């Protein structure tokens, strides 16, 4: 299992919309996440930053993320959520959600 933590900025004027969207995530989007071996996925908010965490239980994260990106339901979902988000300044060029470095783990 691989832990993945990421951060992105939420546009303050879109915060209510972002919250509303996530009160009812479409079932096909949730099903696709599970098919891509993603579990224990959560998104947290602090100020204007969203922190996401998920556990990846597959063998090829890049391939599963590519498969998710090709999914029509996921693409439609991202068209709704993307206007609410903005990459943080620490994001690498072309990176939407910026990967975070794990500095501590207690199991």
Query: Which pLDDT belongs to residue 33?
Result: 98
Asked whether the CA dihedral 60, 64, 65, 67 is positive or negative, the reply is positive
Average pLDDT on 9-38 reads 98
In terms of Cα–Cα distance, which of 55, 58, 50 is closest to 85?
50
pLDDT in tens, 28-82: 999 999 999 999 999 999 999 999 999 999 999 999 999 999 999 999 999 999 9
What are the residues facing 39 on neighbouring strands?
A: 55
Query: Which pLDDT belongs to residue 69?
Result: 96
Q: Is residue 14 within 8 Å of residue 83, measured between CB atoms?
A: yes
Query: Which pLDDT belongs to residue 16?
Result: 97
Could you give the domains of the chain? 2-99 (3.30.70.1090)
- pTM given for the model: 0.92
d(CA 75, CA 71): 6
Confidence of residue 14 (pLDDT cuts 50, 70, 90): very high
């Amino acid at each position: 299992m691989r832990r993945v933590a990421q951060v992105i900025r939420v546009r303050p004027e879109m915060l209510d919309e972002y919250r509303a969207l996530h009160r009812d995530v479409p079932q096909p989007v949730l099903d696709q996440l599970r098919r891509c071996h993603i579990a224990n996925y959560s998104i947290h908010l602090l100020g204007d930053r969203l922190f996401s965490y998920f556990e990846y239980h597959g063998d090829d994260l890049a391939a599963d993320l590519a498969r998710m990106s090709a999914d029509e339901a996921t693409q439609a979902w991202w068209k709704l959520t993307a206007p609410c988000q903005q990459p943080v300044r620490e994001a690498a060029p072309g990176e939407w959600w910026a990967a975070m470095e794990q500095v501590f783990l207690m199991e």
